């Protein structure tokens, strides 16, 4: 928390994901870096009041379920191939007495998830009222489904010939394969 960026948009949290986890579906750490880089490039890394958490599968080691912007990894099929994808959740938080899980916004190809985060963080930064929380802003503009609708154009897989990178995960060069082994971690 003492590092520069703590509690700012650039402070993206991810579980180990496919780097080391035997049951991971996606490279959650690679997505975290890509999101951080995209926010830096767009001048949004220092937006406060928005937490971003990523898990490489439906388990919640990355705490995606309780984050303002959460992702969990999932295999997608497009044009006859496997591809890395994510479900985006919005508006999760830890309340006084219970955890409120984030609401489903949209599914996304992994490679479009950073663009989706840039759009949401920019919209939040532009539209929030003084002191307004991410959850408060989100509900005022129509909730996760309404925001998700504005991102639907990103839930598209180009063909492999047009964009082969959509069929490889972050930090990998080969084709995406969702190889899930026996659990080794705490879940």
Query: Which residue, 24 or 144, has its beta carbon nearer to ligand SF4?
Result: 24
According to CB under 6 A, which one of 17, 36, 49, 114 is a site residue for ligand SF4? 17
- What stretch of H or E contains 35? helix 28-41
Determine the interface stretch with ligand SF4 among 11-19, 86-94, 118-126, 163-171 (rule: CB under 6 A): 11-19
User: Closest Cα partner for 108 from 42, 55, 41, 155?
Assistant: 155
> Using an 8 Å Cβ cutoff, are 67 and 51 in contact?
yes
- In the bound complex, what is the minimum distance in angstroms from residue 56's beta carbon to ligand SF4? 3
Residue 9 near ligand SF4 by CB under 6 A: no
Residues making up the chain, counted from first to last: 187
- Residues 65/101, Cβ–Cβ less than 8 Å: yes
Q: Is 59 left (phi over 0), alpha (psi -120 to 50) or beta?
A: beta
Residues 112 and 102: their CA atoms lie apart, in Å, by 20
The CB-of-107 to ligand SF4 minimum distance in angstroms stands at 17
Report the C-alpha gap between 112 and 108 in whole angstroms: 6
Binding piece for ligand SF4, criterion CB under 6 A, among 17-25, 80-88, 115-123, 153-161? 17-25
Tell the smallest beta-carbon distance from residue 38 to ligand SF4 (Å). Answer: 21
Of the listed pieces 9-17, 90-98, 108-116, 118-126, which binds ligand SF4 according to CB under 6 A? Answer: 9-17
Binding residues among 37-76 for ligand SF4 as defined by CB under 6 A: 55-57, 59, 61-62
Q: How are beta strands 103-109 and 52-55 bridged, if at all?
A: unpaired
What Rg do the C-alpha atoms of the chain give, in angstroms?
16
Nearer to ligand SF4, 35 or 118 (CB): 35
Binding region for ligand SF4 (CB under 6 A) = 15-17, 21, 23-24, 28, 55-57, 59, 61-62, 185, 187
């Amino acid at each position: 928390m003492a590092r520069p960026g703590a509690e700012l948009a650039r402070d993206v949290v991810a579980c180990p994901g496919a780097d080391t986890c035997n049951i991971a579906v996606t490279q959650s750490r690679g997505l975290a870096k890509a999101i951080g880089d995209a926010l830096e490039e767009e001048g949004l890394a220092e937006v406060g009041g928005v937490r971003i958490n990523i898990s490489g599968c439906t388990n919640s080691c990355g705490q995606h379920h309780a984050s303002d912007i959460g992702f969990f990894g999932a295999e997608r099929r497009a044009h006859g191939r496997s591809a890395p994808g994510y479900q985006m959740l919005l508006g999760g938080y830890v309340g006084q007495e219970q955890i409120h899980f984030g609401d489903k916004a949209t599914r996304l190809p992994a490679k479009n998830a950073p663009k989706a985060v840039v759009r949401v963080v920019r919209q939040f930064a532009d539209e929030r009222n003084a002191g307004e929380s991410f959850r408060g802003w989100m509900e005022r503009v129509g909730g996760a489904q309404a925001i998700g609708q504005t991102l639907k154009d990103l839930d598209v897989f180009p063909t492999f010939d047009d964009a082969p990178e959509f069929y490889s995960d972050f930090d990998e060069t080969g084709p995406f394969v969702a190889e899930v082994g026996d659990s080794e971690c705490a879940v």
